[in-house]
Amino acid sequence: MRRLQVSGLSTDKDHVSIWQVAKAVLSAFMGIRKKSDLEHDAATLKPMHVIIGGIIGGLLFVIGVFSVVKLVIS
């Protein structure tokens, strides 16, 4: 990804891997996160990353529960 230039200031917020967003969202679903990881997230993740990650996570959750149900009744 390209570096963002905002008001002449560069930001590292666009250097975010999908894996980092996934970890943040998954730990949010569990409600447990190491403090150092959290601070790293807060410094690097943008709200939009987390919101999109959360929606995808919610969809995966629904698909996951649905798969378990299918497995149980098959």
Contacts with another protein, residue ranges (CB under 8 A): 27-33, 35, 38, 42, 47, 54, 57-58, 61-62, 65-66, 68-70, 72-73
Q: To the nearest 5 percent, what fractions of the chain are helix, strand and coil? A: 70, 10, 25
Nearest approach in angstroms of CB 4 to another protein is 19
Nearest approach in angstroms of CB 46 to another protein is 11
Measuring CA to CA, which residue among 3, 1, 4, 40 is closest to residue 20? 40
2 vs 9 by CB, closer to another protein: 9
